[in-house]
Structure formats: structure tokens, C-alpha cells
Amino acid sequence: MENEKIILKPKRDYSVRRRHPWIFSGAVAKEPSAQKGSLVEVFSSGGESLGFGWYSPSSQIRVRMISFGAERPKSIDELVASSIGRRAVFFANASTNALRLVNAESDFLPGVVADYYAGWVVCQFTSAGADLRKREIAEALMKYAPFCMGVAVRNDVSARAKEGFSLEPQFEHLAGSQMPELIEIVEGNVRFYVDVRNGHKTGFYLDQRDARAIVGALGNNADVLNCFCYTGGFGHACRVSGANNVVQVDVSHDALELAKKNETLQHICDSNMQYVQEDVFQYLRKCRDEGKKFDLIILDPPKFAESKSHVMKAARGYKDINLLAMKILKSGGVLASFSCSGAMTPELFEKTLADAAHDAGKNFQVIARTTQAEDHPVLLSFPEGLYLKGVVLRSLC
């Protein structure tokens, strides 16, 4: 059976020739009558086949490419097997049992995220093509993910609305056994419970694994403030590394309750862990006004910029919160600051930190830069896949 065809406008094929996986609606001259999520073949205005992708008539991103040029598209089974195969080193390394198996466009499965938690796999499907094939993807994950006991999907991610899909049910079982309410994972010397049904993303911020190791090691003998702590990841990593005291701050009661449960997994006596349910901006101002100081401050806020149009407003928010943190950081102390806003470039983020340091009247050294962990790879032709950036600063005065 011949595939449906999409024909691009003249001079609108540059990005796909550069193997960028997105084709926007404005580049399309002729649309097919294909159903949402169907595999379509993409042609230049001159009739040259440019590859194959998944079609979405409801989205500004009309086609998400899965192969280019003369390369024939692989089956779902092959794509999932290849993606998991590229993570073989993680399964050979006993330091963690939680990782990302499929990272969407960067693994040639656009809109497919699959996270592995100690034998359970939780997915997010944010493209029409992925949603149409969700059962097939789940079967492949059961087949190739080591010791896989079950696969489920979180449907509550907002990007699904842009594809014309409902956000309900929030949690949907797809294959294998039903998942437990909480899944225990290990990350180096730290253990965590993951709430796959109600937690952020698929339940845990796997992308910050490397940063938790770096920042955690800096927590030895430190008084630590972990802002936007969620379930306490950075704070628990610091305490396990020998922090004196850790203050975990988040606005969410449920997140803090799970952070407290995570504390019980660390088997540390007299943990000196404090939990504060409060808006972080307000808490930092209170610390400033009361003269409180910390040796190590972690700022890992939620996304401030949803799109490029929000970048400058987001930059002001990042500057404000980092300025407050810098004012309550001890001389010689460390500030670990992160941004998960994809529209915020690393260059703009560092400039924002530099502006905050100027206003604080302090000098800082950059002692580390971090990004998403290596199981969250970025396709070279798809720079949008790089979203997480972190800068670790040491105060010199």
C-alpha cells in the first residue's frame, strides 16, 4: 500500500534536508487526507522524497520525521529495541536502576518518552503518531526493557492538548502487571520512592541524576537550602554525603510528604532535615530579612518560560530568585542554579546569573556546568532537545 504524501512549498525543505525532525504547517503546500498519526512520505516541491514521518493535522508541527532521504522507516519494534540497546551500559552499571529508555525525537520516536523505574516503565505520548501506536510501543517495551513487569502511560502532560488529545485518564495501564503506588529506586548511595501516578513528569526527575551527584558531593559538612525541592532529591543527596543540616522547601504538601518518606530510606540517624511548605520567593525574602545564611543553596525551579515569547519575563524571574539566593549565601558558599526552560539558552541563563551577581555586589567562580543526564541524549540536528542547564557557582566574597 502506497503511503500518503505531503508536498512542501518551494524553498521550505532546508530544515528537513538538515535532518531536523519537525515540519511546521507553514511549510506544507499540499496536505494528505490521512488519519491523525498516520505515516506519511514527505516530498519537496520538485518531487524528491525527503523521508517519512508521523502526520498531525491538529498541530502546528504537521509532521514529525522518523527517517530521512532514502532511508526506509524502521518498525516500532526496531526503533524501541535500538533505543534501549543504546542504554545497555546503564543496565550493566549497578549504580542506578532508573533511567530513560526512549527520549522522543532524539531517539527517532517523536513524542515518545519512556522512563524505567526498577522494572516498571512509565511513558508519555505527546505526538499523534505516538498515541496511535501506544499499544505497539508498550508491547515493544515489555519485550526489550530488562525484567520489565509492566508499562503504563501518563496522559496529563499539557503538550497532548496541542495534538488534540484529552488529558484523561491521567494514568493508563498499557501492558503487563498493574504498577504499585510507589516504586523504590536507587541512585548511587541514595534511595527514592517514585509516585508514578501523581508525581511530576513520569514521577521523578531522572534528567538531574548527574547534577545530584555533583551537588550532593559538595554538601559535606554544609548547611544546605534546597529550594523547589519536590521529593527532596538534591537535599537527600547532600545529607547522604554528610551535610550538617538540610532545609527542604516546596509549595506542595504532597511533594514534601513524599520527601519525608524518602528520608526514611536513607537510614541516617539524626538527619537534621527540615521541611518547609512555602512559596520559595517568600521564603528567600524571609531568610534575607532574618539574616539567615547557608553554605550551599540549590535552585531547581519549574519551567519559567513555556515558549520564546516568555523568555524575557522568565529571565527576570531567574534573576530575582538568584539574587535573593546570592544575598543569603555565605562567603565561600556554593549556589547550584538550574533552568529547565528549553527556550532559555545556556548563554542567556549565564548572563542572567551574572546580572544577579552584579546586583548582589559579589564575585563568583563557575565550578561546574551541568545538563541532562546521558540517557537523555540530544540529536545533533535537533538542538531543541537540549532543555536542562545548570551552573554551579562558588562565592568569593
What are the residue numbers of the active site? 340
User: Hey, CA dihedral for 358, 361, 363, 367, is it positive or negative?
Assistant: negative
How far is CA 381 from each of CA 50, 131, 378, rounded to the nearest angstrom? 15, 24, 8
As a whole number of angstroms, the distance between CA 102 and CA 289 comes to 46
Give yes or no for a contact between 377 and 83, defined as CB atoms under 8 angstroms apart.
Answer: no
What residues does 96 pair with on adjacent strands?
187
Nearest partner of 265 among 208, 194, 190, 203, judged by Cα: 190
**Residues whose CB falls within 8 Å of the CB of residue 195, separated by 6 or more in sequence, listed in order:** 181, 182, 203, 231, 258
How far is CA 31 from each of CA 18, 46, 70, 132, rounded to the nearest angstrom? 22, 16, 21, 19
Beginning with the edge strand found earlier in the chain, give each strand of the sheet holding 22-24 in spatial order. 22-24, 61-68, 49-55, 39-43, 4-8, 28-30
